[in-house]
Structure 1
Amino acid sequence: MKKIFSQNKKNIQFLIIGLGLIGGSIAKKLSKNNYEVLAIDKSKKIFEMAKKAKVIRGGQEKIDSKKKLFVILALPPKDLLKVFQEFPKFLDTSEFITDCSSVKGDIYKLVKKYNLSSKFILSHPIAGSENSGFINSKANLFKDRISTISKLPGNSSRSLNACKELWDELGATSIVLDYKLHDKIFSLTSHLPHIVAFSLISLFSKRKISQYKNFIGGGLKDFTRIAESDPVMWENIFSLNRKNLLKDINELQNEIDNFKKYISNDDATKLLSHLKKIKKTKKSLNQ
């Protein structure tokens, strides 16, 4: 596969819209690899911090029409959807566009609406953290991680190759995943676990926390770590992936009801059998 970026560094620019954990980490890695990185962020303080650290060269005023522009959207999902109206010029004149969102369905609709299918590749790096923001970003965030790429009707082979090369440049391995299947899978593997963690901490908020605080072990801390995640980001994700998520919530509720039934009936045999099946399933996930 012919290299698009690395053999042409002087003639391309990356424009990153959003300098949070993901956008900031992309900017740090690309600038470290000697690419020209520009950015747009609603926080002037964050923008200036990135510029002072030489993570970015500047903002949209530095865009050179003689160079090829590659746009990366690294925003909370609902803010990302607004980009299509707020920055149409950059999207229209760019050579390639990708996103980093955990929900794809609504983005795909806008990609079709604005006739960007040939150059907009849906992608999602599996590298999030409860520690959000530019201050927590790091150049090696994507090293040995996975990024999904969702091939859409009309995607050019050049844009697909550019997306794969981008994530390779950032240290990640790309896996192709249908965008509908993406939203279904991540509802169960990411979005639902956040619902569970948030719910458990919400339960603590209704108790006298001082009674429990000294008895919180490593298991609970590990399990609920993600409840410290950005509320705005997760409101966006829950809202935009609600169809898949509501289905998974209902199925989880059924699982909890099974436990409730076995415990209420003091049915040790069925409870033990159920726990053994779950342990076996968990081991298969580890393989």
Structure 2
Amino acid sequence: MVHTHLVVVGTGLIGGSFALALRRAGFAGRITGVGRSRENLQLAVELGVINDFCHDVAEAVIDADVVLVSVPVASCGEVFAAMAKSLPAHAVVTDAGSSKQSVIADARAHLPDMSRFVPAHPIAGTEQSGAGAAFATLFQDRWCILTPDATTDPAALEMVRSLWAATGSQLIEMDASEHDEHLAAVSHLPHLAAFALVNAVRKSGGDDPFRFAAGGFRDFTRIASSSPQMWRDIALCNREALVHKLDALIAELGELREAVTAADGAHLLAEFAAAKAARDAWLRKNGDEL
């Protein structure tokens, strides 16, 4: 792997794990972390995630060869604007955002050369955050979706492909709008559903509405411990696709409500059986990769 200068803007779970995974794969270049929290960045240095850090995006990227933008999607525009004037002409920029159309629009508005920007989304994570949560195998055998377009420089695309492949990711390319539709269904909607379920129980009354919650509730709502700010941003940045999926979920819940109200056991059984069959088939196909 070439010796180069990698700048990671947002040295948290994703950015930190990207750096650690590259180190494990043999990356011997310099890694600079960028962020607001000195405590988090100092921890990243102590853990060997980065070599040094900077609080100023423009200063950090002056001699960058590759930049990973791993900040909340609503903050990408601010980061792109900050680096625009000092980013070297040869530098390649990628990101790790969960919505692609909004990030691409922000990049187009600010970056001087869109051909050197290769949008990416590693589909991996935990509910934890910060450099202390980073680990080198986070992306191992997980999908990483790249969403280049006809203007993307082939050399820049190949560099980004090689970096994400070195983390252990399985790479796939698709259109940004297709990505946003898929992720609205299988990632963004489940997070909103988990937040909604916890709030429904929280508001149900009593001294301790969670008193008898056990494994099923814990497993279903695990992702409700994710960053509220991050998921607010994702919901707003992918709102068009997400609204369609929310409508579909509301319709399904409405059908179940009607069946419960009418004591229609046959309908409930059919819906539950269809859902179980679909999930079991998904697990048989992908269980070892999850």
Q: Fold-level match, TM-score > 0.5? A: yes
Question: How far apart are 1:35 and its partner, in Å?
Answer: 2.7
Q: Which residue of 1 aligns with 2:108?
A: 112
Alignment of 1:138-157 (within 5 A): 138-157=135-154
The 2-side partners of 1:44 and 1:278 are apart by: 47
The 2-side partners of 1:15 and 1:237 are apart by: 23
Question: How far apart are 1:13 and its partner, in Å?
Answer: 0.7
Q: Which residue of 1 aligns with 2:13?
A: 21
Q: Determine if contact 1:25/1:138 at 8 Å carries over to the other structure.
A: yes
Quick check: 1:166 aligned with 2:183? no
The 2-side partners of 1:202 and 1:214 are apart by: 15
Q: Which residue of 2 aligns with 1:232?
A: 229
The 1-side partners of 2:82 and 2:281 are apart by: 46
Q: Which range moved further: 206-215 or 140-149?
A: 206-215
Q: Which range moved further: 154-163 or 201-210?
A: 201-210
The 2-side partners of 1:17 and 1:229 are apart by: 20
Alignment of 1:79-98 (within 5 A): 79-98=75-94
How many positions carry a matched residue from both structures? 277
The 2-side partners of 1:248 and 1:49 are apart by: 39
Q: 1:251 to 1:110 in 2, by over 3 A?
A: same
Q: CA RMSD in A?
A: 2.0
Q: Determine if contact 1:31/1:37 at 8 Å carries over to the other structure.
A: no
Q: Which range moved further: 72-81 or 208-217?
A: 208-217
Q: Which residue of 1 aligns with 2:44?
A: 50
Of the three residues 246, 251, 255, the one matched with 1:249 is 246
Question: How far apart are 1:55 and its partner, in Å?
Answer: 2.5
Equivalent position SS for 1:56: coil
Deviation digits for residues 234-268 of structure 1 (CA, Å, limit 9, x no counterpart)? 01001111111111111111101111111111222
Deviation digits for residues 140-193 of structure 1 (CA, Å, limit 9, x no counterpart)? 211221111112121111111111100111111111121101111100100000
The 2-side partners of 1:118 and 1:198 are apart by: 38
TM-score for both structures, normalised by structure 2:
0.89
Q: Determine if contact 2:77/2:107 at 8 Å carries over to the other structure.
A: no
Q: Determine if contact 1:71/1:91 at 8 Å carries over to the other structure.
A: no
The 2-side partners of 1:140 and 1:23 are apart by: 13
Quick check: 1:72 aligned with 2:64? no
The 1-side partners of 2:178 and 2:61 are apart by: 36
Code of the residue aligned with 1:105 in structure 2: it is Q
Deviation digits for residues 114-153 of structure 1 (CA, Å, limit 9, x no counterpart)? 3532110110111111111111111221122111111212
Q: Which residue of 1 aligns with 2:34?
A: 40
Q: Which residue of 2 aligns with 1:270?
A: 267
Question: How far apart are 1:64 and its partner, in Å?
Answer: 7.4
The 1-side partners of 2:62 and 2:81 are apart by: 22
Question: How far apart are 1:217 and its partner, in Å?
Answer: 2.1
Structure 1: unaligned runs, 5 residues or longer: 1-5
TM-score for both structures, normalised by structure 1:
0.89
Question: How far apart are 1:20 and its partner, in Å?
Answer: 1.0
Q: Determine if contact 1:262/1:270 at 8 Å carries over to the other structure.
A: yes
Percent identical across equivalent pairs? Answer: 29
Question: How far apart are 1:90 and its partner, in Å?
Answer: 4.5
The 1-side partners of 2:197 and 2:60 are apart by: 47
Q: Determine if contact 1:143/1:172 at 8 Å carries over to the other structure.
A: yes
Q: Which residue of 1 aligns with 2:179?
A: 182
Deviation digits for residues 55-109 of structure 1 (CA, Å, limit 9, x no counterpart)? 32223667674xx611110101111221121121344534211000001112212
